[in-house]
Amino acid sequence: MAQEWKIEGKNILITGGASGLGAAYAEAFLKSGAEKLAILDVAEKIGNDYAEKLNKTYKNKVIFIKCDVSKEEEIKNCFQDVLNAFKRIDVLINNAGIMDDSTDAWRTASDVNWQGLVSFTRKGIGHMRIVEGGSGGTIINVSSVAAIVKADFLPVYCASKAAVLHFGRSISSPEFYANTGVRILTICFGATSTPLLNNLQSRFIEQKFTNMLNPTSPLQEQSVDSAVKAVLKMFLEGKPGSVWLSQFNEPGQDITAILDEAYKPLEKLTLPSEITDATQISK
């Protein structure tokens, strides 16, 4: 199975790929032998400039398509544009995200972080599904440690990332993978040194939290390089439906079993015994 999960020769689509972690994934996958790569992002000039830069090194393997992940029509059109260009998508990385709980931005952030991700995932599954003539593939959904721990100054962001985490865990049954050939992977990043963390206090849900992050208690940020290494490790080693953690510049860690164990008491409390028993047998 590990041989199947190789990067060489794969066609890859990355949302939010013009800068930050998305841009770093793009170059890392190209270095590892990706055949073609599509960068989707709302930042048109930055995206075009980055695609041009990559194409000088990687022999015109990259295209850029402007896409607002909060708009369903753009998602539909852009996904088809990539298919028209590549004919086949093997890997979809749902990386686009907004960390902004402020009054003017929280709804758009929710659309990008959650609904846009679900829309791309559904389109990816429809294209890759082996029972309908697809070739299978991998979908990587980017969540966060904010999906696991509470942050009262960014509750909307936490909720959207929790939705991403639970979506991946819920859809990734063994039967789903057997019938579709689509491997869903979820990665939870800790604080990472990208522009997403710049001026963070201005994006809290209420300004009374502006002193929550201060110079005497800084976030323990990991490097972009460490985060990218975790994604590559997850891609090469991750089992279908697995959830991975990347933080503190440590190697990526499969935390699926830890999450399963944490949920057992709640499942026993809320589900009929025959369902929980069958679930444990299937695992």
Tens digits of residue pLDDT in 163-207: 999 999 999 999 999 999 999 999 999 888 766 655 666 657 666
Cα 93 from chain centre: 6
CB within 8 A of 49, min separation 6: which ones?
none
Do 228 and 21 contact (CB within 8 A), yes or no? yes
Q: What is the pLDDT of residue 3?
A: 43
CB within 8 A of 16, min separation 6: which ones?
22, 40, 41, 69, 95, 96, 97
In DSSP terms, 15 is beta-bridged to 40
Q: What is the pTM of this model?
A: 0.89
Q: What is the pLDDT of residue 219?
A: 62
CA distances from 64 to 10, 128, 240 (A): 17, 21, 29
Q: Is 177 a catalytic residue?
A: no
Q: Which of 25, 50, 58, 157 is catalytic?
A: 157
Architecture of domain 11-282: 3-Layer(aba) Sandwich (3.40)
CB within 8 A of 53, min separation 6: which ones?
none
Q: What is the pLDDT of residue 2?
A: 42
Q: What is the pLDDT of residue 176?
A: 96
Q: Which helix (H) or strand (E) holds 52?
A: helix 44-57
Task: Encode pLDDT of 14-36 as tens digits.
Answer: 999 999 999 999 999 999 999 99
Sheet order of strands, 182-189 included: 62-66, 36-41, 11-15, 91-94, 137-144, 182-189, 243-246, 253-254
Mean pLDDT by 10 residues, the chain (283 residues): 77 97 97 98 98 97 98 98 98 95 92 97 98 95 95 90 97 94 97 68 62 55 95 98 97 97 93 63 50
The vertex-130 CA angle with 129 and 131, nearest 5°, equals 95
Cα 90 from chain centre: 15
Beta-carbon-side half-sphere exposure of residue 122 (alpha carbons within 13 Å): 10
Q: What is the pLDDT of residue 274?
A: 63
Count of CB atoms situated within 10 Å of the CB of 263: 13
Length of the chain: 283
Tokens 């972690």 -> residue: 21
- Domain boundaries along the sequence of the chain: 11-282
